[in-house]
Chain A
């Protein structure tokens, strides 16, 4: 009997030694590795104390359709006025404590929207003159700098979290509309036929400080998590911008600018997402996003006109993939479902996130 115990003991000792080597081990709770590799369903809504996160993203949107004021879908590509939208963004966040973080964000965008080409034809007994007008409205430039802070429940995250966020878009961007760069090209075959290319140059940025307030909650049950966030943006005050007018005489453009006032609309966003943590390093999710603007006005020729109300609902499937403890990739695809007075682009948004604890060894 003793020998049996001895053999069993020997087996247990041997096996336990081996399993120590081979089994998956978790980092000590709270160490740097553990914090950096914490999956989405086990992570609070703010960064950990001392954690620094840098994000760089690119959004490519194909604006081939839009919703009109009645909510009907208009296919822009059918009349040749589809366009694409390039949006780059940078965001830095830092966890001051385990429940308080600060961050800054900015962006750069570029897009060009074509209007339908119009040709005016004048036929006489001796000749046919054609004047073709193309119109392109280009928007390009750096956006405002957004400074924000997020506060969450001051308890360890287990299955529920609540956070509030507040911040302000500082009017750092060169938002004033630039002078148009219109051109006239005379036809090589008919002297009175020519093409007018109207090229308007808009910039990025609000032009006035804009406040943002947001509230969010997160609930995890096993591998599933649901998160909801509501946010509102509202301008601090009225703004002023320039409207360029042009006259064409003898195929030469002359321009003059005119100042106008505006009040930005309030913007409301609601995001509700359902996440599935497939493995520790892969999170799959489906987000429903609702966007709405209300209020605000723009001055035209001395009169103030109310901004049209915009609405858009998108469905966004996406994933979060942890490549290494420091590096994570996020990607979502956006599909417009319903809207009003709003572009309805399909888009892909890819973000690379780099995380580190600069002051923790």
Chain B
């Protein structure tokens, strides 16, 4: 009888052991899981103690632009330009609602042009070629982000962001050999401060967010003319941007991102006079993209397509992003 009871108990214990496979259980969230959340499911700011590093590469060529009338046209003279920026970001969660972000970039810009000049009297021709390169560390940014209203179920979050731009990039042309032969500056040469407010709502598998930001540019001085080499005081126009984002989970780890983005930059000034070198400009763009979350890695690629604009490039901007959270 005792042996029989023992068997019954053993069987019951075994069944109990495996019964957890059938029963409904509450998933235990551990930090490693939290670090694998996608851009849809993760909070707007990093959690306390989390550290994320990333690289953002953007590439654009100069083929077409929106003119001052807002029409899209090709650059007419024989010239070619390209710009690649390698951005490096470090984000750290000071608290669950407060995040610090450091951003800097390495720039590779290229401008090449050729003009053949023929003398009508002597019939002699002179080909002038200009090749300008800009290589080096660009400007850097420090950003503080705080969730005024944290995201909770059925509620939207409201986040403020304060960004300070520090002119760490070389602001003046260097290695000047002639009017057309020199190395391009890789920095703007001015401090700037910006504030933005963004709201987000998650309705899994979707997330929607809206943003409005304003950046004030301080005065600076730099060389505008490679002949006289005089540093002149200038100020970029202030910068307003707004955007709407709608992200969608295609499966558990791939997100299809959609962003509509608008910005307006005011007229710039040189020595307190409006300058044709820095006209007022604006652009409305659409940016589709795919973001892959592979454990703690996040990889993304997107393309920003200018749809409408004035005094801005009209070529698509290609973006590739890689991030890792520690």
**A residues apposed to B, CB below 8 Å:** 3, 6-7, 10-11, 14-15, 17-18, 21-22, 60, 62, 64, 76-84, 112, 114-123, 134, 136, 138, 197, 323-324, 327, 329, 348
- Whether B119 contacts A123 by the Cβ 8 Å rule is yes
| Chain B contact residue count (CB 8 A cutoff) | 42
Please judge, given known A-B contacts A14-B15, A62-B61, A116-B114, whether A22 and B21 are in contact too, CB under 8 Å: yes
**Contact of B269 with A by CB under 8 A:** no
Instruction: Name the B residues within 8 Å of A329 (CB-CB).
Output: 290
**Assembled-state Cα–Cα distance A62/B250 (Å):** 30
A253 to chain B, nearest CB (A): 16
Can you list 5 A-B contacts with CB-CB less than 8 angstroms, sorted by A residue number?
A: A7-B10, A78-B114, A82-B80, A114-B77, A122-B120
CB of A6 within 8 A of CB of B315, answer no
Min CB distance A57 to B, Å, is 13
Which residues of B from 110 to 139 have beta carbons under 8 Å from A? 110, 112-121, 129, 131
Contact surface of B with A, Cβ cutoff 8 Å: 3, 6-7, 10-11, 14-15, 17-18, 21-22, 61, 63-64, 74-80, 82, 110, 112-121, 129, 131, 250-251, 254, 290, 315-316, 318
- Contact residue among A3, A80, A134 (Cβ-Cβ distance under 8 Å from B80): A80
**Of all chain A residues, which has the CB nearest B64?**
A112
From A17, A80, A117, A119, give the contact of B18 (CB < 8 A): A17
Closest Cβ–Cβ distance, residue A19 to chain B (whole Å): 9
Min CB distance, A76 to chain B, in Å?
Answer: 8
A112:B74 contact, CB within 8 angstroms: yes
CB atoms of A79 and B7 under 8 A apart: no
Roughly how many angstroms separate A77 CA and B7 CA in the complex, as a whole number? 84
Q: Is the CB of B10 within 8 A of A80?
A: no
Do B7 and A3 touch across chains, with their CB atoms under 8 A apart?
Answer: yes
Closest 9 CB pairs of A and B: A80-B78, A82-B80, A122-B120, A79-B114, A77-B80, A134-B76, A18-B21, A14-B18, A80-B79
Other-chain residue from A14, A21, A62, A136 in contact with B76 (beta carbon distance below 8 A): A136
On whether A78 and B3 interact (CB within 8 A), knowing A21-B21, A84-B61, A115-B78, the answer reads: no
In angstroms, Cα B118 to Cα A18, docked, is 85
- Output the least CB separation between A324 and chain B (Å): 5
Q: How far is the CA of A17 from the CA of B79 in the complex (A)?
A: 70
| 8 additional A-B residue pairs with CB within 8 Å, beyond A3-B7, A7-B14, A80-B113 | A7-B7, A82-B112, A117-B114, A119-B115, A119-B116, A120-B118, A120-B120, A323-B254
Contacting pair A117 B21 (CB below 8 A): no
Complex-state Cα separation, A286 to B129, whole angstroms: 38
CA distance A323 to B208 in the complex (A): 21
Which of B10, B76, B120 has the most C-beta atoms of chain A within 10 angstroms of its own C-beta? B76
- In the bound assembly, the distance between CA atoms of A138 and B77 in angstroms comes to 14
Q: What is the bound-complex CA distance between A78 and B75, given in angstroms? A: 16
CB contacts (< 8 Å) of A117 on chain B: these are 77-78, 114-116
Name the distance in Å between B128's Cβ and chain A's nearest Cβ.
9
Q: What is the CB-to-nearest-CB distance from B287 to chain A, in angstroms, rounded to a whole number?
A: 14
Contact B112 A77 (CB under 8 A): yes
- CB neighbours (8 Å) of B7 from chain A are 3, 6-7
Could you tell me the distance between the alpha carbons of A329 and B75 in the complex, rounded to whole angstroms?
A: 33
Best-surrounded residue of A17, A80, A118 (most CB of chain B within 10 A): A80
Cβ–Cβ < 8 Å partners of A324 in chain B: 250-251
> A115 vs B11: C-alpha distance in the bound complex, in angstroms?
86
A81 partner residues in chain B, CB cutoff 8 A: 78, 80, 114
B114 pairs with A14, CB closer than 8 A? no
Give the CA-CA distance A197 to B290 in the complex, in Å.
Answer: 40
The 8 Å CB contact of A114, one of B14, B18, B74, B117, is B74
CA distance A7 to B14 in the complex (A): 9
> Which chain B residues border A123 with CB–CB below 8 Å?
119, 121
Nearest neighbor of A62 in chain B, beta-carbon distance = B61
Among B64, B119, B250, B254, the residue within 8 A (CB) of A121 is B119
Considering the complex, give the chain B residue whose CB is closest to the CB of A110. Answer: B64
Q: Which chain B residues border A60 with CB–CB below 8 Å?
A: 316, 318
Pair A7/B11 contact, Cβ less than 8 Å: yes
Q: Which of B21, B78, B120, B121 has its CB near the most chain A CB atoms (within 10 A)? A: B78
Which among B61, B74, B116, B254 is the interface contact of A116 at CB below 8 angstroms?
B116
- Which residues of the partner chain A approach B117 to less than 8 Å between Cβ atoms? 118-121
Contact A138 B80 (CB under 8 A): no
Instruction: Determine if B14 and A10 form an interchain contact, defined as CB atoms under 8 angstroms apart.
Output: yes
User: Contacts of B78 on A, CB cut-off 8 Å?
Assistant: 79-81, 114-117, 134
Q: Taking CB as reference atom, which chain B residue is nearest A58?
A: B303
Is A78's CB under 8 angstroms from B116's CB?
no
Among the interface residues B10, B79, B80, B117, which one has the most CB atoms of the partner chain A within 10 A? Answer: B80
User: Inside 8 A of B6's CB, which chain A residues have their CB?
Assistant: 3
Contact (Cβ within 8 A) B79 A84:
no
* Contact, CB under 8 Å: A64 / B80: yes
Given contacts A15-B18, A18-B21, A114-B78, contact A327 B250 (CB under 8 A): yes
Cα distance, A77 to B61, chains bound together (Å): 11
Cβ–Cβ < 8 Å partners of B114 in chain A:
78-81, 116-117
Complex Cα–Cα for A83 and B14 (A): 71
For B116, the chain A residues whose CB sits under 8 A away are 116-119
Quick one: closest A residue to B118, CB to CB? A120
Residues on the B chain within 8 Å of A79, using CB: 78, 112, 114, 129
> Nearest chain B CB to A194's CB is how many angstroms away?
13
The complex places the Cα of A197 from the Cα of B22 at a distance, in Å, of 76
Of all chain A residues, which has the CB nearest B315?
A: A84
Residues of B contacting A11 in the complex (Cβ-Cβ under 8 angstroms):
14
How far, in Å, is B325 (CB) from chain A's closest CB?
22
Chain B's closest residue to A124 (CB) is B121
B250's closest neighbor in chain A, by CB?
A: A323
Closest B residue to A183 by CB, please name it.
B76
A27 to B290, CA, bound (A): 28
- The residue of chain B having its C-beta at the shortest distance from the C-beta of A75 within the complex is B112
Q: Shortest Cβ distance from B33 into chain A, in angstroms?
A: 19
Chain A residue numbers with a CB within 8 Å of B119 are: 121-123
Distance in angstroms from B257 CB to nearest chain A CB is 13
